[in-house]
Amino acid sequence: MALPGMEVLQNRIDSFEPRRLKKGGKLYIWPHDDSFIASKSNLAEAGFYFSPTPKKEDFDNVTCFMCQKQLGDWEKEDDPFALHFAKCAEKCAWANLRCGLQYDRVEGGGCVSILHITTDANLVYIASNLPKTAYPRQKQQRRRV
């Protein structure tokens, strides 16, 4: 179950401060420094808050405020945006919209642009300027009008 208020970025950042799960219990401290790609601020921006559990193996567990996906065992090169998108894009709006931004960029950092729009019997076809290999979603999107 999500902690109340975790839809607010600052609350997710604050969740990484040392805390106790219950009065008089163990003090849980985020174990990784900012040399990890999965820094406190990157994790919070990717939609995660610190959710340690009493289990020893969950010392760096985080949970998405929207889809409740839990991830842990972070390594120095793990990218929380890429992992959240890869694991949850189909069911989590935050993973799809915020974490998927990196896939909506072209080389050089610009955004995807629409090159061509055609209509065909109540369908709109939108083609992007990215090659299929660089864009994990379909090159053409179809929407009903």
Q: Tally helices (H) and strands (E) across the chain.
A: 4, 8
64 membership: H or E segment, kind and range = strand 62-64
Mean pLDDT, consecutive 10-residue segments, the chain of 145 residues? 83 92 83 93 94 80 95 93 91 87 62 48 48 38 41
Q: What are the chain's domains?
A: 9-104 (1.10.1170.10), 114-144 (no CATH)
Q: Enter the tokens of residue 46.
A: 């990717």
pLDDT of residue 25: 80
The torsion angles phi and psi of 62, rounded to 5 degrees, stand at: -130, 160
Distance between CA atoms of residues 107 and 49, nearest Å: 31
Distance CA 91, CA 66 (A): 10
SS3 20: strand
Q: Which of 92, 78, 87 is nearest to 47 (CA)?
A: 92
pLDDT at position 81 is 92
CA-nearest of 85, 127, 78 to 102 is 85
Give the pLDDT confidence score for residue 105 in this predicted structure.
58
Confidence (pLDDT) at 51:
92
